[in-house]
């Protein structure tokens, strides 16, 4: 009966990429978390990849990032983003009202909590569940459940934040969120090129260089590669190309990479002695786009003394785990008089 209102839906609101999972259909959307707004009319012209393609090419368009630090910063734009995704992938332009589960940073502030609540219900959610990203990712990778006593450590290294969670019996034992991620690395590359070459490049060019030749120092025997980035010469104002090598990028990102590792260490430091003794045999599972930076797992292993591995190659673990949360909670809908518009913040895995 409730399928008529919309199938259960999970959304992973990443600062760089938003993913959506619809029950029985799987992951149906992986879009950049971007909107393109007309400067003259204020109308939103595009979202996701079409909006990204307008960046810097249309002077009448301003790009808006409605999700920062893993939470809505622009409630109207975040509402538009979620509503557009829900209506598009439920094939109902105006009537879709699904049960919605959204991943959130484990250290989300009360201000961001209220902003997300408002945006989700305005976007059409009839019920809302919020799941900390480390728990959702652990479920999506099959690492935890409500009845399993094993300790699991998940470090989600995204675009804006690093979210570390220590999980046991399906619940968060301790967690730590730090405002450092892939965007910090991009800004560091932009700053190095500006400082040493007097050239201004875009964050998108810095990200492309990071993906092509980036590696965590020390490079050791890793072969040096190089790439060319283009920007504007600050002296002449003319276009200019700069060659960046693996060593250049490694030197630029050394400081923010150190902050990421420090955030993971701080997350582990919150464990009690009973759990700390088990961590040596458990290791750290890394998720998020920045976790795939070459050499990062090695540096984490050297600094923490714990094995580190990439647990999610696709980036879909969190949204898949969030979808499993609704599946585990069952399809029984409560009576209308017992329904609450307030969201449910889930800190333990439901039994299913």
Full 3-state SS string of 207-238 = HHHHHHHCCCCCCCCCCCCEEEEEEEECCCCC
Residue 81 has pLDDT above 80, yes or no: yes
Q: Same structural domain for residues 170 and 186?
A: no
Give the mean model confidence (pLDDT) for residues 315-328: 90
Domain that holds residue 169: 145-180+256-310
Q: What does the alpha-carbon distance between residue 253 and residue 214 come to, in Å, rounded to a whole number? A: 9
Q: Same structural domain for residues 58 and 157?
A: no
Q: What does the alpha-carbon distance between residue 151 and residue 75 come to, in Å, rounded to a whole number? A: 36
Q: Same structural domain for residues 162 and 210?
A: no
pTM of the shown model: 0.88
Q: Same structural domain for residues 116 and 189?
A: no
User: Is there a domain that residue 352 lies in?
Assistant: no
User: For the domain that residue 242 is a member of, what is the CATH number?
Assistant: 3.90.640.10
Confidence band (pLDDT; 50, 70, 90) for 329?
low
Domains identified in the chain, total number: 3
Sign of CA dihedral 100, 105, 106, 111: negative
Q: Same structural domain for residues 126 and 73?
A: yes
Residue 55 has pLDDT above 50, yes or no: yes
User: pLDDT digit string (tens) for 156-189?
Assistant: 999 999 999 999 877 888 999 999 999 999 999 9
Q: Same structural domain for residues 17 and 86?
A: yes
């Amino acid at each position: 009966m409730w399928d008529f209102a919309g199938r259960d839906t999970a959304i992973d609101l990443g600062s760089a990429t938003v993913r959506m999972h619809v029950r029985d259909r799987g992951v149906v959307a992986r879009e950049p978390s971007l909107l393109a707004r007309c400067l003259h009319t204020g109308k939103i012209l595009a979202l996701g990849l079409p909006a990204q393609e307008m960046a810097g090419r249309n002077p009448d368009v301003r790009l808006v990032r409605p999700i920062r630090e893993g939470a809505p910063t622009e409630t109207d734009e975040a509402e538009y983003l979620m509503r557009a995704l829900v209506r598009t992938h439920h094939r109902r332009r105006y009537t879709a009202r699904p049960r919605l589960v959204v991943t959130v940073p484990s250290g989300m502030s009360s201000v961001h909590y209220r902003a997300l609540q408002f945006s989700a219900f305005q976007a059409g959610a009839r019920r809302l569940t919020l799941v900390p990203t480390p728990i959702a990712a652990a479920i999506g990778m099959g690492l935890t459940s409500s009845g399993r006593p094993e300790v699991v450590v998940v470090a989600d290294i995204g675009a804006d934040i690093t979210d570390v969670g220590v999980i046991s019996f399906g619940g968060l034992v301790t967690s730590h969120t730090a405002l450092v991620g892939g965007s910090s690395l991009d800004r560091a590359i932009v700053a190095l090129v500006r400082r040493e070459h007097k050239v201004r490049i875009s964050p998108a060019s810095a990200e492309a260089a990071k993906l092509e030749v980036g590696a965590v120092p020390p490079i050791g025997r890793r072969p040096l590669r190089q790439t060319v980035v283009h920007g504007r010469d600050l002296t002449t104002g003319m276009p200019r190309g700069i060659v960046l090598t693996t060593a250049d990028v490694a030197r630029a990102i050394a400081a923010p990479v150190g902050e990421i590792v420090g955030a993971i260490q701080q997350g582990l430091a919150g464990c009690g002695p009973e759990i700390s003794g088990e961590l040596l045999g458990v290791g750290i599972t890394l998720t998020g786009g920045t976790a795939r930076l070459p050499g990062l797992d090695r540096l984490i292993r050297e600094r923490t003394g714990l094995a580190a591995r990439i647990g999610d190659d696709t980036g879909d673990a969190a949204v898949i785990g969030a979808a499993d949360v609704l599946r585990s909670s069952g399809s029984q809908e409560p009576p209308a008089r017992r329904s609450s518009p307030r969201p449910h913040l889930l800190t333990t895995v439901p039994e299913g």
